[in-house]
Amino acid sequence: MTRIVNIISGLNLEDYSELEIITSWFRLAYKNKMPVALWRLPGSSEKQLVIDTGARLSPGKVDLEESMGGFLFAPFENQKMSQDFFLRANIHYSSTQNQITFSDNYYSLTPDMIMDQLRMELDAHSFDSFLHLTDDNRQTTSESQYLEMVENALNSIQNGTLQKVVPSATRKVKLRHRFNSIDTFERLCSSYPEAFISLVTAPELGTWMGASPEPLIEIDKSRTFTTVALAGTQAYHPALSLQDVAWKQKEIEEQALVSRYIINCFKKIRLREFEEIGPKTVVAGNILHLRTTYSIDMESINFPLLGSVMLDLLHPTSAVCGMPKLPALQFIKENEGFDREFFSGYLGPVNLSNETHLFVNLRCMQVASEYATLYAGAGVTEDSIAQNEWVETQLKCDTLIDVLDL
């Protein structure tokens, strides 16, 4: 059983703005040391939020088919999903429905206690957002460091060790005084309507936010499974029609490698009944990509576990790691010089409204007390030019720089 609420001790949620309600939830969660995830799906105006009111988060494998509703947050390197973090939707807020849903498990705080706290936060009329923060221990990747890494990658490709690898870079920026995460989230939503916008904060995880253009796996109400091959990058110029965009051989081959990777995953489970659409040119903020979409009717092929099986096979895809996977992972470990943590992992709602939406955690940043660390990678193939790959990482970082109001 669940409990649905839209009135708080005589106060209707409609008397408050969306910003007031969301900010109050974050303040409540922070004061109770509870994890919270806020997101908006691509093409939607609905903001959704879940709070896990239980004990300390711990990593572990999540069964997509059997799990209760919640939000999944997984790192880049997760050892067969044993390091995934799952925020249970003990509290689920929808801005469109303007209602709050409580799950069966209330843990230490009952719904009435939570609603009393929320009322106090709403009455405070404060727009300060509280976040769980980590230390400012990241450093910016220099241009020379990245160029050397790309040259090392090209050498590995030339000697046959790799076909492709995706080295990444960090960019540390100082945040303005009284940085407001909810305002930044709103600006991301406005600037990137076709991206998955997210803000996750928890004592065990710190704070991450981003605007990802890349679905990893999605399962809708009709039990249609979808994944995409997204690769190839160039700057977006609004004056140029998408039909007139030209792609170089390097980007075409890079995207084809990701497509072949997905099809090879299908072959491993002897799956042939899929629909393939693309590649098409798509806009992702200030960037263009090539995108191919793959969809499967799970009921017609009688494969109810397809989501979990494909998640295990796909991650990390060649779009964020490389091919072959294991040598690419080893190259990244030996050359990047930092732990990616949740960058290029995956995140999203699971089993909420009978749907699952997991996205690759791209165009993201880790928020600390005074600084934010931005992450971006670029796919290196035999046709890559090191300087161009460096420029690509900086262009991707600009996706977030543009909304930080530094």
Percentage of the chain with pLDDT > 70? 94
Predicted TM-score (pTM) of the model is 0.94
Tokens of 346: 């995956």
Lowest pLDDT segment from 122-131, 191-200, 221-230, 235-244: 122-131
The answer, yes or no, to whether residue 114 has pLDDT greater than 80, is: yes
Q: What is the mean pLDDT of residues 286-308?
A: 95
Residue 138: pLDDT band (50, 70, 90) is: confident
pLDDT(286) > 90: no
- From residue 245, give the alpha-carbon distance in Å to each of 173, 192, 234, 383, 396: 32, 20, 10, 20, 19
CA atoms of 388 and 378, how far apart (whole Å): 9
| Tens-place pLDDT, residues 183-213 | 999 999 999 999 999 999 999 899 999 999 9
Name the burial class of residue 313, with classes exposed (0-12), middle (13-18) and buried (19+) by CB atoms within 10 angstroms of its CB: middle
Please name each of the domains of the chain with its CATH number. Answer: 143-404 (3.60.120.10)
Question: Average pLDDT in the 135-142 region?
Answer: 85
Structure confidence by residue, pLDDT tens digits, 270-280: 999 999 999 99
Residue-level pLDDT at 1: 42
Tens digits of per-residue pLDDT, 325-370? 999 999 999 999 999 999 999 999 999 999 999 999 999 999 988 8
CA angle at residue 149 from 145 to 154, to 5 degrees? 150
- Per-residue model confidence (pLDDT) at position 343: 97
As a whole number, mean pLDDT of residues 58-69 equals: 88
Task: Spell out the alpha helix ranges (H) of 127-214.
Answer: 143-158, 181-191
Determine the Cα–Cα distance for residues 169 and 191; give it in Å rounded to an integer.
23
